[in-house]
Each structure stands twice: as C-alpha cells, then as structure tokens.
Structure 1
Amino acid sequence: MRIVLWSTAIVVLVVLVGVVYEQVGRYRAARDFPAPGKMVDIGGRKIQLDCRGSGSPTVVFEAGLSVDGSLSWSAVQSKVAAHTRACSYSRAGLMWSDASDAPYSARQVAQDLHEALTRAGEHGPFVLVGQSLGGLYATSFTKYFGAEVAGLVLVDPSHPDQVARVAAFMTETRSLRSRIAVWLAWSGLLRAAAPSLLPQAPNQTARDSQAVHAFAPKSMVTQLVESDATDASLAEAGAFRNLGNRPLVVLTSMAPYTEAELRGMKITPEQGKQVQAIWEKLHEDMATWSSRSTHRLLPNAGHDIQFDDPAAVIDAVMSVVETVRADRDNGSH
C-alpha cells in the first residue's frame, strides 16, 4: 500500500509540474511573441491579421495544413509588400488567433478571412496565394467572394481528387501516437517536444521558429482538427473548379522526396516517383481551372516552396499582380 501511495503521489506531482510548465509557457508565449499586425475582432473572437505595404491589388496569403499561421509566409511577404499591399493571417485556433466553435469547413475558413479583412478595412481586388490545403481554401474563398478576387497563385496546392488518385500508394499517416500527444497538450508534453517535432525551416528566422514552438501546443490541436476534416474539405472545395479568366499560376514542387518524407508516407523511392508524377498531373488539371494560367515545375523545391524557393513564389505573385494591374489599366476583367 505504501508503494502504491508513493507511486500515486509521484505521478500526481509529475502531472502538476507539467501543467504548471504548460501554463507558464503559454504566458511567456504571449509575452515574448506579440502578434504581428493586429488582432481583428470578427464577432466575439479575434483573428490575427498582418498587412503591410501599399498599393493594389492586395495580396492575401493563405497557409497550408501547418502550425505556422501567418509566419508560413515570412520569407515572402515583406518582398511582395515592397510592391503592393500584402496580408497574411492565422486561421482560427492557430498561433495568436482565437479558436472557433463552428464546425470546421472550407466555407467557414473563407468566411472568417473575409470578415477579418472587411473589419480591418482591407478591400479588394485581392490576389489570393494559397499553399497546400491553403490552395483549396483560396479557391473556396473565390467561390463565395468571387467579385473581390482578381487572381490566384496556388503553391503546391492540394487537389480535390488527390486522395483517390494516390490511394494505391498511400496509407493512413495520422498515428495514434500523434493524437495522444495532441490530447496531452495541457500536460506540457507538446511544448517540450516542439523543437524536435518542428525543426526550423530553410529561410525561416530563429525568432519565427521559436514563436511557432511557443504556440505549438495550441496550434497542433487545431492542426489535428483540420487534418481530420481534410477529406470533407477536399470534397467541399472540389465542387468549384471554375476560376474563369482570372490570372492563375500553379507552382509544383518536384524535388525528390527525402527519406523522412518517404517514411512518413510509407512508400518506396520508386513509388515516390510515381506519386510525384500523379501530383504533376493533378496540378496540370488545376491549371485548366482558369483560361489564363501558367504551370511552373520547381525541380529543387519541396512541398513548402515558400521556404525552399521563396523567390519562385515572389515571382509568381508579382506576375499575377502585374497582370491584374494591366487588366485594370486596360479596363478589362
């Protein structure tokens, strides 16, 4: 009985230490890493929105399925903001933004972003830039608020048919271990593991990486919710594939998958080549969604092109911005 009591006491003590560690970490995150830009009240909760520069059209960056929020675009935004207005933001529940009680959907993401832009006084025309799943969030925004969208850049975007097309190669990667870690975020476990789970990206500053780690326990809970809703989001976004004649650039990463990526996807190097070939074809299809599109292959960039090859993203964004300006000057749409 004495052993049981001592064991219980030790477990309770460890849990309490972990809870205190997590609460102190959250306090320090808010203190040491204030939100860039401003927090926009969209009706009882706030969305972090960081807008810089001046000029039209306004470029709006949409992050992929990651925990970085607006910091996903840190290697790109300031360069674009030197030429036109440029806004990045963190979706509900990521980084500084408050979580939402609404059911997760692509439409809800679009509505949150539109409300944040409107209440912050940001007006179209917008050029939307979306990476990975953020690409489909960008097309969904176009579906619901198309009158305000003048052009798009899709950075290694998700495709509505991707799950079906690669089903023969891919297996479920959302492991029980990662779910347990997220469920135990309150215990300080994720905070302690964040530096190893989320290594610093190329062209990412040490401070931005530290900010991502500081908010990781909160952001990773949201990331799991987004991940679980991916199939529904793909189906929802896939119902809209007509971007009209808006200028569109699709960027495709073609760097060979790393050993870590192959292990994560549970495929062989040869299967990796086949998956990449399918990925290229899917992006060729997305380029047909607009009558004015360009599809660019980037042989040296991985999935996070905005970090691996930020210049390619900047060039794509500015090419669309210049086309939109030329359309405006010519009185066309």
Structure 2
Amino acid sequence: MTTSTPTPSVFGAVHLGYLVIETDRFADWRRFGTDAIGMHHDTLDTDRMRFRLDDQECRFLLRRGPAEDVVAIGWHVDDHATFEQIEARIRTHGVPVTEGTAEEAALRGVERLVRFPGPKRIAQELYTTPVKATRPLRMHSAGFVTGASGMGHIALTSTKPAHIRGYFTTVFDARLTDYIDETISGAKLRIRFLRVNERHHSIAVAATRGLPVDPIRTRIQHLNVQVRELDDLAQSYQRVCELGFDMALSVGQHTNDKELSYYARTPSGFEWEVGWNPIVVDESTWQPATHQGISIWGHKPVGQTIVDKLDQFRRGARSLTRHEDVVPALSGTGIPDD
C-alpha cells in the first residue's frame, strides 16, 4: 500500500503584502491616506495612485473604478520554492491561476505575480520579490510595522465563515489563533482570527450566529495598519477628526491581541484600523481560546444614528438572497470549525 507524503507547510513564509482598492474618490482618498493616516503618497496618473508604508514601492494601489472596495490582495511569499508550492496547490484543486502582466506587476511594485480567485470576489495575488523604492519616505509618521508580520490584516464578514477559514488553511496553512464572541445591536457574532505568520492575525472572519446574514456592503469590513509609536496613533486620530473624516470607533484595546487602536471610515465606506503594539504569537506555547467581547475598553461607536442601524438591518436582510462566493474547490470541507 502506498501512502502520500504531505507537502511541507508554508506557514510563516506568507505575509500580507499589498491591497488594490477600486475607487472614484481620488481626491478624498489622497487626503485620507496622506494627511489623515500619514502614509507616503505617489501619483502615477489620473487613474492610479499608490501609498507606501516602508521601503516597498507599493502597499496600497488605488485604481479608478466604481467598486469603492478592496478588489485584490497581494501576498508576499519568501522564496520561489514556496511560490511554486502554493501555485501547485491551487492548480491541483482545479482552480485557475493566471500570470499577471508586466504592467500589473510594475503598478504593484513587484517583479511578477500570479492571480487566482478568492472569497467574496476578492482576487488573491502571489509575489516573491518586491521592488524597493529609491525615493525617501514622506510621512506624518515615525513608521509602520511590516517585515515578517506583513503589513497588517484584513477583516471580512461572511455567511460561510468555515469555508473562508478552510480556504486560507488550504492555500496558506493558516492557523486558528482564537475566537471572539460579541453581541452588537442584539445580533450575536462569532469572529475567527487566522494567522499565517507571527502576527496575531492576518485575516479575521466575522459571522452572525443563528442567521446567515451579512450586513456589510463592502467585500472587506476593515483593514489594519500598525504604527511603530504610540504618538503616531494619537496624532493620526486627531488628524482624522480635524480633517472631517468619519470616525467609526474611538480608541480602545482589544481583548485577544491587546492591540490599542481606532477605526476610521474610508472615503469608500469600509473601515481603516490604525493599531499599536499587538502581541506576537509564540508558536511553542499558543493555544486558541474564546474571548468575550472585542474590547477590554473603548472602541465605542462614534456618531452612529438610528438611520445607520436601520441601513445595516436592511443590508443584512438583502444578503439572505445574495450568493456569497467562497471558491468551494479551495474551501477545505474536511477542516473542523465551530
């Protein structure tokens, strides 16, 4: 009898690298990204611009279009062997992989990339070699934490959270870090936190318990960047308020990763979390746990009206009739979840 040899894990060799955002609100996004959050900005042409956090040439690519949403996620893998291993996994499951064009790679600040379908119609892109920028950073910040932890995290809402967990486990050997149970406006939520490296989580997946509704219009609920200094958190919070951008949640501290953060609302409608000093997972001792509530303190809604809450309920009701794409071939039906 022959037995198959399991493929080596790619955990730890994968890092959140960049995001592609489609928007028609370029002027607002430039003010938000540069003047409020404090990132380095580069205008490419009338239809494309980029933000930097570090010496990588692109961390956020904004292209003109109607989605007002994140449309692609770039994952940096450490070497060509890992790149080929992940690509082979995807093809083995019968999922198409396409080579990015030279222009697409240049816009994202990478040497080459491949693209494949992802949950919620967010394209997933792999690359190995980022292009280093020659121009010095111009930022209202002492710097952002990237490196081995990646550039931050994304958070999704889903009616099929086990499928999304299965997807990232199948593709990247993602590990479950922990859960949070929370009740918001009477709705019971369970949030799964998944890591692909030392960062506490690179993906969070929130779902409503007992009723398969998704009250969020956008494909992602929020994205996160991590500042190096506490002063940068406080000063960017002040800039967001003074410049007239909406604050979604005030400064607070999370129960699970202990990160201090706030959430601003982007010109496209999804939220942007600026955080400081989350814990780093020790793989030798870590055990998943369930935390009650997202915050130890703070993270209070800012400026939310009854109209806003009604809009959320309407969106949730509409989601009952909307198909959610989770790429079944990569969703790992045998992966346990609860």
Class of the TM-score when normalised by the shorter of the 2 chains:
under 0.3
Higher helix residue share: 1
Q: TM-score normalized by structure 2? A: 0.25
Q: Which has the larger radius of gyration?
A: 1
Q: TM-score normalized by structure 1? A: 0.25
